[in-house]
Amino acid sequence: MTQEDKVALKEFLIGAAVAIGITAVFLVIIFASGIITVGDEELKPSAEVVDTYKGCDIVRWTASNLAEYKYFLYCPPPR
């Protein structure tokens, strides 16, 4: 192995170590910020009345922690 090959190998290893270090720091930041959660977090559906329309409730419903809402009308049965 020539001296030039040793220098090239050393530069390659330093570059690989820096890339691995940056990736590790990025993953630590992602997990610490809570963007990606690890564990058995239970998702609970939620519904709330947001308004009324012609005597019926407008209900906003979601089954996840995302901002994905579905709206529907709930009218009480006639008496």
List of residues 6+ apart from 1 with CB closer than 8 A = 9
Residues 13 and 46 in one domain: no
- Total count of domains within the chain: 2
Q: Which domain holds residue 13?
A: 1-39
Residues 35 and 54 in one domain: no
Residues 50 and 32 in one domain: no
Residues 77 and 49 in one domain: yes
CB neighbour burial string for 40-53, b if at least 16 within 10 angstroms, e if fewer: eeeeeeeeeeeeee
pLDDT at 67: 77
> pTM (2 decimals)?
0.44
Residues 1 and 35 in one domain: yes
Residues 11 and 33 in one domain: yes
Residues 35 and 59 in one domain: no
Model confidence pLDDT, tens digit, residues 39-59: 556 667 888 999 999 989 999
pLDDT at 10: 96
